[in-house]
């Protein structure tokens, strides 16, 4: 189904792991702050609704979306977090700036995931216009912050499952679904 026909933030709470023992960092871009604060509210409330304690959620700001990877790296290196969510909004303009920022942020977030072996969740809106951003920051298409929070919880839980299973479980294939 096309994303323009449904709310992408609907989720089954019964399928989301308990986040009560998890610690999260959220890096929020100040650029387009009306959009990014709405994304933050969605992410924060979703983490709380799924068991995260408010004191286990650390929020920092960076000037713009391009600085999100550096902010995430600073959190990873200086705070006790199990996952980091980056929240930003890049709206296409009349120059190639949009493409450079989007590519840089995407690559930066991917590199952090692999470098630190820690979930860094991409919650950056890349839209053609402000209306599309509003639609994805609490509007008719839901809130990308909610989706990012669910992804963070699920990735932390996956890491915990893998870390805690025994070698014989790997050999027997009990952990992995077929």
| pTM exceeding 0.85 | yes
Structural domain contains residue 7: no
Residue 165: the pLDDT is: 72
Residue 174 CA to residue 178 CA, distance in Å, equals: 10
Residue 170: the pLDDT is: 53
For 50-61, the pLDDT digits (tens) are: 999 999 999 999
Residue 68: the pLDDT is: 97
Question: Any idea what the CATH number is for the domain that residue 157 is in?
Answer: 3.40.50.960
Residue 102: the pLDDT is: 87
Tell me which residues are annotated as active site.
Answer: 97
Q: Are 73 and 112 in contact (CB under 8 A)?
A: yes
Structural domain contains residue 91: yes
Structural domain contains residue 11: no
Counting the structural domains of the chain, the total is 1
Residue 21: the pLDDT is: 95
Residue 102, domain extent: 20-172
Compute mean pLDDT per 10 residues along the chain, 178 residues long, and list them. 59 90 98 97 97 98 96 96 97 79 93 96 95 93 95 95 68 53
Structural domain contains residue 48: yes
Residue 2: the pLDDT is: 47
Residue 1: the pLDDT is: 39
Structural domain contains residue 149: yes
Residue 81 CA to residue 150 CA, distance in Å, equals: 16
Q: Are 69 and 111 in contact (CB under 8 A)?
A: yes
Residue 176: the pLDDT is: 55
Structural domain contains residue 33: yes
Structural domain contains residue 15: no
Structural domain contains residue 99: yes
Residue 57: the pLDDT is: 98
> Would you call 87 exposed, middle or buried from its count of C-beta atoms within 10 A (0-12, 13-18, 19+)?
buried
């Amino acid at each position: 189904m096309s994303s323009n026909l449904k709310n992408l933030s609907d989720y089954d709470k019964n399928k989301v792991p308990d986040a009560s023992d998890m610690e999260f960092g959220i890096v929020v871009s100040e650029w387009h702050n009306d959009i990014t604060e709405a994304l933050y509210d969605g992410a924060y409330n979703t983490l709380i609704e799924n068991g995260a304690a408010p004191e286990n959620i650390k929020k920092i700001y960076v000037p713009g979306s391009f600085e999100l990877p550096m902010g995430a790296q600073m959190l990873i290196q200086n705070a006790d977090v199990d996952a980091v969510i980056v929240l930003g909004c890049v709206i296409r303009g009349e120059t190639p700036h949009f493409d450079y920022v989007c590519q840089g942020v995407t690559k930066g977030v991917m590199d952090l995931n692999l470098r630190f072996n820690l979930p860094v969740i991409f919650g950056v809106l890349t839209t053609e216009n402000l209306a599309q951003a509003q639609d994805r920051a609490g509007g008719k298409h839901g809130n990308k912050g909610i989706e990012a929070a669910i992804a963070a919880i699920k990735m932390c839980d996956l890491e915990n499952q893998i870390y805690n299973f025994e070698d014989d479980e790997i050999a027997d294939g009990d952990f992995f679904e077929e």
